[in-house]
Structure 1
Amino acid sequence: MIGVIGAGAFGTALAVALGREGREVVLWARDAAQAEAMQRGRSNMARLPGIALPETVTVTADRAALSGAHAVLLSLPMQALGGFLDAFGTELRSRWLVACCKGVDLRTLKGPAELLRRARPDLEAAVLTGPSFAADIARGLPTALTLAGGDEALQRLLSTPSLRLYRSDDVTGAELGGALKNVVAIAAGVVIGAGLGDSARAALMTRGYAEMLRLALALGARAETLAGLSGFGDLVLTCTSAQSRNFRYGQALGSGQGFDPAVTVEGAATAKAVSNMARKLNIDMPITAMVAALIDREISLPQAIQALLSRPLKQE
């Protein structure tokens, strides 16, 4: 049995994809009324309308139902993961804990795998990340992800014909790729929202990738990991599609429009955490710093654009 914690769009999509292949899945929702409605109606109308839950998927608000799971996938917002583990981590009994969130914890400046290890050092931790939208996974469209830290048995358990998992032992690189691309996606959205054009977005993505690489290498990641699904692949997806919440949030910033505060934008908190981390490590990350400053309203959009355009010319 596979457990999925978090009945948002991504958690539901994973449950659907695995359940469709006949695997027994328990999908845990924090809200009992939501769990009951999903179990009775066999869908998550609020997050994935039109997608039916397979019969092998059980939705519940009872954490005890997860006790028999071989692996538990934690599909929670990055900034909620630490609090959940502090409150309920001792109740998790599976062999594998798999983090499905992308970002850096603001409180500890740690990635999801480290939070899992701190909470349950007796269990094995892995990270599932890469270029994916929940709707694509739920519809059975071809998707490839990185499973960092898992073994071959876990890879087989979580893979389906349309959801292909590739293993990596570079957990740091996979985590940072997934986290940092969200910051660049916000910046790409700002560029498009401000009407600066696709050429500017391509330049922004290129320089953003260079920032991602600088920090990742400084923290012990491998360059080839950042060039893979969890880095470059995810960067391309989130910087070029309006399905990306981070990109849409950046567009709103760039065009001066409002954005729904109920929508989780992982890159906003990550920009602040990584900006602090970069300062401590003395790593130059101007795009990340610009995004963090824009979010905190420390600079205006014209000031941010001017700061980036006036940087010294140098060899690429």
Structure 2
Amino acid sequence: MSKVAVLGSGSWGTALSIVLADNGHDVRLWGRSQKQAEEINQHHYNNQYLTDVKLPSSIVAYTDLEASLHDADTILLVVPTKAMRDVLGELRNYLDRPLPFIHASKGIEPGTHFRISEIIEEEVPQHLRSSVAVISGPSHAEEVALRQPTTITSSSLNPEAAKYVQDLFMTNHFRVYTNPDLIGVEIGGALKNIIAIGAGMTNGLGFGDNAKAALMTRGLAEIARLGLKLGASPLTFAGLSGLGDLIVTCTSVHSRNWRAGNMLGKGKSIDEVLNEMGMVVEGIRTTKAAYELAKKEKVEMPITNVLYDVLFHDKSTKEAVSELMGRVKKHEVEDLKIDPL
């Protein structure tokens, strides 16, 4: 049995806590809301994020970060990208030995263009982290919490760390594969949120399956194009953290990014969308980071570019679609030059 500090008590952090508890682990779920912690500890519910889902009694909620980390032998980070540095900067003050770090967050940091694992490595001194791994793939928290069949990927530069994550989470309803391509797994998980915003927009504009299929297919090409430039394996983008995550995020009302795009397509402003959502929409911040990174790396990402203009320069959604459809004629695979294996 492991003692796991799960940092982030939103829907995904809570769902992963259920998986860990089902595996017999000692779960300390940390968040900032005292009201939420009391609900979890006294009634075993987190209704703000997972309505009517009964939590195992072995999940104990904390609002004191130091207390949640006491005697923990594993740290699972499930906080939004924008909060990652603050949480890491605080928690490193409470560590006195190296621990494995696992993250389940999906984003890229604007400005630095760092992936989450790179943020962890920069913020946590090497003598306080034994390894860094990611868990990612097609996984709605609402379905994981109900113990519906789910399959994901764990990845790390350290193969033993990826296997440790696999062993930590693997259950009869939560299957975990390992993948050595840390760059590809993180890039796929982050950038699919951008395409999901676009997919939601097509629904909001009243378009059908043809438009969504086109957007997802060309979106995957963009994700792979940038990933390959950064050193990822092309095979990763055909796997769970690439195509799999893209499908689930672009086709479901569970997806915050899809819902945000849907509201934008119906004519709401970005401020109206964020106020109505009341939760972090990772794809918005990731769009800015990916736009900057693509410019830096000289990688063509037309879908990301027009969504950036919609989100940050008030371009209308109809104008964005017109711009994409009016692009210069191209060969479908000319921009994805992959050497045969």
The equivalent of 1:196 in structure 2 is 207
State the shift of 1:109 in Å. Answer: 1.1
Separation (CA, whole Å) in 1 of partners of 2:208 and 2:70 = 51
CA deviations over 1:165-202 (Å, ceiling 9, x no partner)? 11111111000000010000101111111112110110
Alignment equivalent of 2:23, drawn from 10, 21, 31: 21
Alignment equivalent of 1:55, drawn from 41, 54, 57: 57
The unaligned stretches of length 5 or more in structure 1 are: none
Alignment of 1:126-165 (within 5 A): 126-149=133-156, 150-165=161-176
The structure-2 alpha-carbon separation of the partners of 1:94 and 1:261, relative to structure 1 and needing over 3 Å to count, comes to farther
The equivalent of 1:5 in structure 2 is 7
The equivalent of 2:84 in structure 1 is 81
Aligned AA (1:313): K
The structure-2 alpha-carbon separation of the partners of 1:261 and 1:53, relative to structure 1 and needing over 3 Å to count, comes to closer
Separation (CA, whole Å) in 1 of partners of 2:313 and 2:300 = 21
The equivalent of 1:228 in structure 2 is 239
CA deviations over 1:198-245 (Å, ceiling 9, x no partner)? 101101111111100100000000011111101110001111111111
Separation (CA, whole Å) in 2 of partners of 1:261 and 1:42 = 25
CA contact (8 A) 2:219 2:303 kept: yes
CA contact (8 A) 1:68 1:94 kept: no
The equivalent of 1:247 in structure 2 is 258
Identity over aligned pairs, percent? 39
| Pair 1:112 & 2:116 matched | yes
Aligned AA (1:148): S
CA deviations over 1:92-147 (Å, ceiling 9, x no partner)? 45621111100101242101101111122231111111110111111111111111
Separation (CA, whole Å) in 1 of partners of 2:140 and 2:318 = 32
The equivalent of 2:185 in structure 1 is 174
Aligned AA (1:146): T
CA deviations over 1:19-44 (Å, ceiling 9, x no partner)? 12322111111223321232111110
TM-score (structure 2 length as normaliser): 0.89
Separation (CA, whole Å) in 1 of partners of 2:175 and 2:290 = 30
| Pair 1:90 & 2:90 matched | no
User: Number of residues paired by the alignment?
Assistant: 316
Q: Which moved more, 1:80-89 or 1:177-186?
A: 80-89
The equivalent of 1:270 in structure 2 is 286
What is the SS of the residue equivalent to 2:299?
A: coil
The equivalent of 1:293 in structure 2 is 309
Aligned AA (1:250): G
CA contact (8 A) 1:18 1:160 kept: no
CA contact (8 A) 2:265 2:317 kept: yes
State the shift of 1:151 in Å. Answer: 3.4
State the shift of 1:89 in Å. Answer: 2.9
Aligned AA (1:136): E
Q: Which moved more, 1:96-105 or 1:66-75?
A: 66-75
The equivalent of 2:221 in structure 1 is 210
CA contact (8 A) 1:72 1:94 kept: no
The structure-2 alpha-carbon separation of the partners of 1:65 and 1:306, relative to structure 1 and needing over 3 Å to count, comes to closer
Taking only aligned residues, the RMSD between alpha carbons, in angstroms, comes to: 1.4
CA contact (8 A) 2:162 2:179 kept: no
Alignment of 1:33-72 (within 5 A): 33-63=35-65, 64-72=67-75
State the shift of 1:261 in Å. Answer: 4.8
Separation (CA, whole Å) in 2 of partners of 1:156 and 1:16 = 15
Q: Which moved more, 1:34-43 or 1:281-290?
A: 34-43
Separation (CA, whole Å) in 1 of partners of 2:71 and 2:176 = 23
The unaligned stretches of length 5 or more in structure 2 are: 333-341
Separation (CA, whole Å) in 2 of partners of 1:239 and 1:129 = 16
| Pair 1:283 & 2:299 matched | yes
Separation (CA, whole Å) in 2 of partners of 1:167 and 1:193 = 36
What is the SS of the residue equivalent to 1:166?
A: strand
Aligned AA (1:204): L
Separation (CA, whole Å) in 1 of partners of 2:7 and 2:55 = 16
